[in-house]
Amino acid sequence: MILCYAKMVKARVLSLAGWVIGASALLGGVYQLFSSPTEALFLLALGAIVFPPASNLITRAPQSKTIKILIGLVLLGSIAYSAYQEYAPSPEKVQDSAKKTNVNLIKQMAKQYCLEKGECPSSLDELFAGGHTAPFSS
């Protein structure tokens, strides 16, 4: 009897969690649809799997196995695409890298100027006028 009650409580907790997580995922997916389509696809697919009415509808469909496979592929594809976008070189990342390189070159030039003159430059003009240059990235 206690085991039956525990199973019933577990089923209700999982059902409640499915409703909350599924509804949140579906609403989040709709909200993100135009600002971040990749995240929206992930959330909509997750909501379709977790949200009990959508999950029951998929289970009752004649091609439920195919639908579940397609939803799984959408989930995996959106995760893979997000990971690719995170590490893919973008113009902003390339520009940031060039800026970091230029700042490091200026630091090295300023240190060399300080060692040679005994005092540090007060501006870049003073540094460049002292004859210190470097191959800056554009």
* Average confidence score pLDDT of the chain: 86
What is this structure's pTM?
A: 0.58
Q: Say yes or no to pLDDT of 110 above 80.
A: yes
Q: Note the pLDDT of residue 23.
A: 93
What secondary structure letter does DSSP report for 61?
S
Average pLDDT of span 43-58: 90
- Residue recorded with tokens 């990235």: 137
Name, in order, each residue with C-beta under 8 angstroms of 15's C-beta and a sequence gap of 6 or more: 52
Q: Note the pLDDT of residue 122.
A: 84
Q: Note the pLDDT of residue 138.
A: 62
Q: Say yes or no to pLDDT of 31 above 90.
A: yes
CA angle centred on 79, ends 30 and 21, rounded to 5°: 45
Average pLDDT of span 6-20: 87
pLDDT digits (tens, 9 = 90+) for 51-75: 999 888 888 999 989 998 999 899 9
The number of C-alpha atoms within 13 Å of 116 and in the hemisphere containing its C-beta is 11
Query: Backbone phi, then psi, for 131, in 5-degree steps?
Result: 90, 10
Q: Which segment, 35-49, 90-104, 117-131, is predicted with the most confidence on average?
A: 35-49
Q: Note the pLDDT of residue 27.
A: 94
137: confidence class by pLDDT, cuts 50, 70, 90:
low
| Separation of alpha carbons 42 and 76, rounded Å | 8
* Alpha carbon 47 to chain centroid, angstroms: 19
